[in-house]
Amino acid sequence: MDLVTFFVRVRRTVHRTAAPLSCLAIAAHIAHGGFQGPDRRFVDLALIAFALLGLGLRLRAPRARTVDAAPLDLGVALLAVSLGGALVAALGGVHGPLAALPLLVVAGGVALCDPKRVWLVVVAGALQVVALHHAAFGWGEGRDLALRVLLLAAGALVHHGLTRVEVARVRAHAKTLLSEERQRQREAARSFRLAAPATQSARRTERDDEARVRSSLEEIHASLVGLL
């Protein structure tokens, strides 16, 4: 195996596995007290660097530009959820000012990702919520944890429903406009086809009149020449 092939395979492997591995690794690290304290440990920096590397590869990868293509890649959404959980843990966890950030990131991911796989974004967000709760309370306060997870799932469901309804409304409106434009073009083409023969016959009549006038003038000219 040459060096180029090796690096290509490594790049593909990182591109495929960075999102789920980062999500699991960062959640496990948060649950064990990671990303907390004034010092930045080697594991914290390594996990953040790996997540950023995967995010960069996902953003640089070409995507299909089709009408039905999702605006946001699923891997980018998972990495954003993971990095959001790390940021919340670094700034105080569930007691910090960004405690609601996982809900916001999950809502954005659910609204912009492929609707068939948005449940993965919800699962990733729930993992971060569970990890943050475990870092603060252990396995105690189970009712608060259940309420946080339910609130996350409910917010994701609301955003997903509203987004799908709006997309369906916009597509139906666009379909109606397209149908009306096609009908207008068909009517314009029919009117043109009906008007074209009349225009052509009028032009032929004008040419025939000009030919008859020219012939009459020639006959008059010949008669005058004969008389003279």
CA distance 154 to 134: 21
- pLDDT for 48 equals 87
- pLDDT for 123 equals 92
Number of Cβ atoms within 10 Å of the Cβ of 164: 13
- pLDDT for 65 equals 57
- pLDDT for 150 equals 92
Q: For the chain, first and last CA: distance in Å?
A: 108
pTM: 0.67
- How many CA atoms, within 13 angstroms, populate the side-chain half-sphere of residue 27? 21
Would you write out the chain's pLDDT as a tens digit for each of its 228 residues?
Answer: 567 787 778 777 777 777 888 889 888 988 888 887 666 678 888 888 888 888 887 777 766 555 566 777 888 888 899 999 888 988 888 888 888 888 889 988 888 888 788 888 999 999 999 999 888 888 877 888 889 889 998 888 888 888 777 877 887 888 888 888 788 777 777 766 665 555 555 555 556 666 666 766 666 666 666 655
With tokens 């008859």, the residue in question is 212
Q: What is the dihedral of CA 13, 14, 19, 22, to 10 degrees?
A: 120
- How many CA atoms, within 13 angstroms, populate the side-chain half-sphere of residue 100? 5
Alpha helices by DSSP H, listed for 97-141, are 101-112, 118-137
Residue 110 and residue 116 in contact, taking contact as beta carbons nearer than 8 Å = no
With tokens 């020219």, the residue in question is 214
- pLDDT for 127 equals 92
Q: Tokens representing 125?
A: 């967000």
- pLDDT for 38 equals 61
- pLDDT for 92 equals 84
- pLDDT for 205 equals 57
Number of Cβ atoms within 10 Å of the Cβ of 115: 13
CA distance 128 to 85: 6
Task: Tell me the DSSP string of 4-71.
Answer: HHHHHHHHHHHHHHHHHHHHHHHHHHHHTTTT-SSS--HHHHHHHHHHHHHHHHHHHS-----TT--S
